[in-house]
Amino acid sequence: MAQKQVLTRAHQELFRRGPDEIFPSLLALYDFCQGEKERSQDHWRPPSSLLPHANGSLRLDLGEGQEPYWLNDWSFTQLCGLAGASKDTVNRLSPETARQVLIETLPQGNKPLQLYSEDGLIRSIHGTTYTRLHNADLVMMLREFAVDFVPPQKAGAVNPGATGLYRGEQDMFCFLIDPTGWAEIEGEAFAPGFFVWNSEVGKRSVGIQTFWFQACCQNHIVWDATEVTEFTRKHTGKVGEALGDIRRIVEQLVEQRDARRDGFARVIGKAMEEKLGTDAEEALKALTKVGIGRSLAKKALEIAEQNGRFTIFSLVNALTRLAGECEFIGERTDADQKAAKLLELVAA
């Protein structure tokens, strides 16, 4: 097995999200993103047609004969970048002075810019090479193909109520797990999960990170993750293909989960039926044969005997209980590995 990892991406997202960015379910997130998609539109305008306005606050006229548009923090940052002016400096100026600075520094060419607006607000400004992937399309795919995957437990004191499903002004992030998808990987129990992210306005790439994990705390730190894989793509001409790529990655995770879960269930079923000998003496010999010390084996037999028979499952359960009582992590790991060896007897 590859070395286990601690994944903190969802933990970092939890720290930076406000209450208005948190969604209780994929359906709620989809409804919001779809409504946003329907209300938004692209404007292809040459830089020479852009005219900053100042009437108590800085706004932007697109030269379309409509009211000047408001700017949010992200589009204002992009506008300053387009003008080659420091955002922090422009932010400290009066609206009238900022307007004059931008008039004098914005490019005047005719190569069109892509301006993305919603209800009188400019959400982003890009050149011709940028291609948008809508959050709603990504979430719809997750609802269709991420079968049985749900948000993790809600966050604790750090950000009470945070679900792992976020959509902010600049980006979207989803943290989903399958709490019923436990399966065995090399003798240990893991469940599948993944992170997905995107930005309609070009703040970050679109991507997915899949993994199998053993625990997730209330602060959304993923512990003991294995088989961690990641796919990302920039918002360029072929970004639309990323939706199909991410869908296939999710489908593969679901297929892997189903295969492993079914296999795990068959192994457990056999383990619950198959006995390790007809009596305690035979069971003790069988346990020592797979490398379990006599002292630990006798304790496991005492626990299993309470259930009336020495099935492989009852002995694995007993060894797991005894592992939990070990003081040192090395001893616990060793005991868990020995319990896994018993399951290997019925795994074939």
Kindly indicate the confidence band of residue 307, based on its pLDDT and cuts at 50, 70 and 90.
low
CA distances to 43, 77, 99 from 124, rounded to whole Å, are 10, 9, 18
The pLDDT, as a whole number, for residue 205 is 95
Looking at every residue in the chain, the average pLDDT score rounds to 88
Sign of the torsion formed by the C-alpha atoms of 143, 149, 150 and 152? negative
Which pLDDT band holds residue 68 (cuts at 50, 70, 90)? very high
Mention every residue, 6+ apart, whose C-beta is less than 8 A from residue 126: 78, 113, 114, 115, 116, 202
Q: How confident is the model at residue 324 (pLDDT cuts 50, 70, 90)?
A: low
Q: Is the pTM of this model over 0.75?
A: yes
* Edge-to-edge strand list for the sheet holding 70-71: 40-45, 113-118, 121-126, 70-71
Residue with the larger pLDDT of the pair 311 and 229 = 229
pLDDT at 207: 97
Give pLDDT, residue 308.
Answer: 57
**pLDDT band for position 253 (cuts 50, 70, 90):** very high
Q: What is the rounded average pLDDT of the residues 43-51?
A: 94
Lowest mean pLDDT among 3-7, 149-153, 279-283: 279-283
Question: Quick one: pLDDT at residue 321?
Answer: 73
Q: What is the pLDDT of residue 348?
A: 57
Residue 274 is predicted with a pLDDT of: 79
Q: How confident is the model at residue 15 (pLDDT cuts 50, 70, 90)?
A: very high
Q: What is the largest CA-CA distance in the chain?
A: 92
From CA 14, how far away is CA 218, in angstroms rounded?
Answer: 10
Least confident of 75-84, 157-166, 308-317: 308-317
Question: With bands split at pLDDT 50, 70 and 90, how would you rate the model's confidence at 269?
Answer: confident
126-161 pLDDT, tens digit each: 999 999 999 999 999 999 999 899 999 999 887 888
Q: In this predicted structure, what is the pLDDT of residue 347?
A: 59
pLDDT surpassing 80 at residue 22: yes
pLDDT digits (tens, 9 = 90+) for 174-220: 999 998 888 877 767 789 999 999 999 999 999 999 999 999 988 99
Contact (Cβ atoms closer than 8 angstroms) between residue 197 and residue 183: no
pLDDT at res. 332: 56
**Residues 324/347, Cβ–Cβ less than 8 Å:** no
State yes or no: pLDDT of 76 exceeds 90.
yes
Return the pLDDT at 24: 96
| Crossing angle between the packed helical segments 26-39 and 135-145, to the nearest 10 degrees | 150
Give the pLDDT of residue 238. Answer: 87
The beta strands (E) that lie in 180-320 are given as: 183-185, 188-198, 206-213, 215-216, 222-233
pLDDT at position 188: 74
Answer whether residue 108 shows pLDDT above 90.
Answer: no
